[in-house]
Structure 1
Amino acid sequence: MTIQIAKESRKEAIASIERYARENFPEPIGSLEADSLLSFFLEEIGPLVYNRAVADVQERLQARIMEVDIEVHENEFQYWRRQDAKRQRK
């Protein structure tokens, strides 16, 4: 699965890669090279990042699901306990 990004985001990513190369490598790269490099990273490393993000979301959702019973739990068979409590207050 290749991760696709919006056209505008792709343009910004390419510009960022070009700037990174300009500031960190002896030779700058052009937009064609930056675009190819971006495509490579999206295809090769993108799924790794995506899968980690999905796993993180699953972990957080699982933690929230584990808390649901605490948040929405209702004690059972409370009618008579409440009635008896009312009678004792009278």
Structure 2
Amino acid sequence: MSLLVKMPREQKEMIIRNVQLFFEEERSETLGNIAAESIVDFMLKELAPHLYNKGVADARNLLMQKMSQIEDECYALEQPVR
């Protein structure tokens, strides 16, 4: 399964500018728009599945914590039986 990342053009352009700024400040290299966009596309392709899976795992853990809390609250509602 390939994870296709879609983002608004304005957001991608901002990331491209940030990549260009990073290369300029950290490496003293000037990147054109096409080169910077290629780097952004490559990084999205490589990182997106890992970040997506991390988000799914975080959501799963949060749901399990909440379900455990709900279960505890349900037990707390039980009335003692003689």
- TM interval, short-chain normalised: 0.7 to 0.9
CA contact (8 A) 1:2 1:47 kept: no
Alignment match, 2:54: 52
Task: Indicate the residue corresponding to 1:87 in structure 2.
Answer: none
| Counterpart contact for 1:14–1:31, Cα < 8 Å | yes
RMSD: 1.8
Residue 9 (1) aligns with residue 11 (2): yes
Instruction: Give the partner amino acid of 1:4.
Output: K
- In the TM superposition, structure 1's runs of 4+ consecutive aligned residues that sit over 6 Å from their partners are none
- Deviation of residue 49 (structure 1)? 1.1
* Matching residue of 2:31: 29
Percent identity over paired residues: 24
1:33-64 per-residue CA deviation (whole Å, 9 max, x = no partner) reads 11111101111111111111111111111111
- Distance in 2 (CA, whole Å) between partners of 1:13 and 1:51 is 22
Letter in structure 2 aligned against 1:65: M
1:71, CA displacement in angstroms? 2.5
TM-score normalized by the length of structure 1:
0.76
Counting matched residue pairs gives 79
Q: CA deviation at 1:26?
A: 2.9
